[in-house]
Amino acid sequence: MSYRPICDIWLLARGAGSSGKPAYYGAYPSGFLRRAKDLLLSNQNDILVHLCSGTVVDPQGITIDINPEVNPDIIADATKTPFHNNQFNAVLIDPPYTEQDAEKYGEDLPSTTDLLKEALRIVKPGGKVGLLHFIVPRIPKGYEKRYITLIGVITGGAQRIRVFTVLKKENV
């Protein structure tokens, strides 16, 4: 076997606002975005597309969310973006994980499979897609891709463990 996925565990602090409480329900754990970008971007000048972006602020990225109240760069359903095929080097997806999570945002729960299909459509061959979720996704059929890494993301006791899955879209 010539390839073996890298597996790791990141123990990160919960994301916090100035009051010390989570700044936004579902916010990334502290330090997650920097680490994710290190894995997803080959060049630090590359654009990272954030699907289901919530309140992410990334001056080098493009944020997409269906909720205009979180001030995304583009207000759109993350399963149907306005981008061309094979346009970006990397995509990061952080959707609501459950119906209850989606209710907190006042939105419907998006299909993880549909989000992955859209990310794989807009990422260039050789590009990477990262998904933060509590499941390891089933990769949609019809895409040449491979797992690059699976990383457990923990923010402390009595918290759900999440998995950061990184896929690479193969040259097709």
- Answer whether residue 72 shows pLDDT above 90: yes
Residue pair 82/76 in contact (Cβ under 8 Å)? The answer is yes
- d(C-alpha 154, C-alpha 160), whole Å: 7
Residue pair 97/111 in contact (Cβ under 8 Å)? The answer is no
pLDDT at 47: 94
More confident residue, 83 or 31: 83
- d(C-alpha 122, C-alpha 149), whole Å: 20
Edge-to-edge, what's the strand order for the sheet holding 6-11?
Answer: 6-11, 145-154, 162-169, 123-133, 88-93, 48-51, 61-65, 74-75
pLDDT at 131: 96
Q: What is the pLDDT of residues 109-152, one digit of tens each?
A: 889 999 999 999 999 999 999 999 998 888 777 666 677 888 99
DSSP state of 38: H
- d(C-alpha 169, C-alpha 149), whole Å: 13
- d(C-alpha 103, C-alpha 156), whole Å: 24
Model-level pTM greater than 0.85? yes
Nearest to 161 by CA among 149, 169, 170, 152: 152
